[in-house]
Amino acid sequence: MSGAEGPGAPDEHEGEEGRVDRADGGREGHGGVGGGSGRGPAGADGPGSDRPPRIPTPRASVEDGGLALPGLAELGDLTPAPLDLPHDVLKSLLGAWALAACSAAETAAVEDHLGSCGSCADEARRLREAVGLLHQPETLDLDPGLRTRVLESCLERRPPHIPVPGWAAAYDAETARLDALLQDFGDSEWHAPVRLRWFEADAPRSRRTTVAGVIAHLLSVDGLVAVALGLDDPLTEIAGVAEQHAVGPAGRTEAFWQTSHFPPTRSVRGPWREQSHSLVRTVSFTGGHAGGLGVSYDDFELPLHDAMLDRAFECWVHAEDIADAVDYPYPPPAPRHLNKMIDLAARMLPAALARRRRTGLTSPPHGRHLGLAGEPGRSLRLEIEGAAGGEWLIPLDSPAAVGSADLEVAHVALDGVEFCRLAAGRLPPEEVAVGQVGDREAIRHVLLATAGLSRM
Beta bridge partners of 394: 380
DSSP one-letter string for 285-328: HTTTGGGG-EEE-SS-EEEHHHHHHHHHHHHHHHHHHHHHHTT-
> Per-residue confidence at 74, pLDDT binned at 50, 70, 90?
low
> Per-residue confidence at 36, pLDDT binned at 50, 70, 90?
very low
Task: Give per-residue pLDDT as tens, 42-59.
Answer: 444 444 456 666 666 665
Predicted pLDDT of residue 2: 43
Long-range contacts of 29-32 (CB under 8 A, 24+ apart): 29/60, 29/64, 29/65, 29/66, 30/60, 30/65, 31/57, 31/60, 32/57, 32/60
Q: From the CA atom positions of the chain, what is the Rg in Å?
A: 39
49 vs 346, residue with greater confidence? 346
How far is the C-alpha of 454 from the C-alpha of 337, rounded, in Å?
19
Q: Give the β-pairing of 435-438 and 402-415.
A: antiparallel
Q: Are 238 and 253 in contact (CB under 8 A)?
A: no
Average pLDDT of span 290-305: 86
Predicted pLDDT of residue 60: 58
What pTM, to 2 d.p., does this model score? Answer: 0.65
Average pLDDT of span 145-165: 77
Mean pLDDT, all residues of the chain: 81
Task: Give per-residue pLDDT as tens, 380-389.
Answer: 999 999 899 9
Predicted pLDDT of residue 31: 42
How far is the C-alpha of 100 from the C-alpha of 111, rounded, in Å?
12
What backbone phi and psi angles, to 5 degrees, belong to 182?
A: -80, -20
Task: Give per-residue pLDDT as tens, 280-295.
Answer: 999 988 866 676 788 9
Average pLDDT of span 147-171: 81
Has residue 33 got a pLDDT over 80? no
The sign of the dihedral angle between the CA atoms of 227, 191, 455, 312 is negative
How far is the C-alpha of 381 from the C-alpha of 395, rounded, in Å?
9
For residue 111, the number of C-alpha atoms closer than 13 Å in the C-beta half-sphere is 11
- Look at 92-106, 162-176, 236-250, 311-325 and tell me which has the smallest mean pLDDT: 236-250
Q: Any residues with CB less than 8 A from the CB of 58 and at least 6 apart, and which?
A: 33
For residue 361, the number of C-alpha atoms closer than 13 Å in the C-beta half-sphere is 18
Predicted pLDDT of residue 425: 94
Q: Give the β-pairing of 376-385 and 402-415.
A: parallel
Buried b (16+ CB within 10 A) or exposed e, 269-291: beebbebbeebbebbbeeeeebb
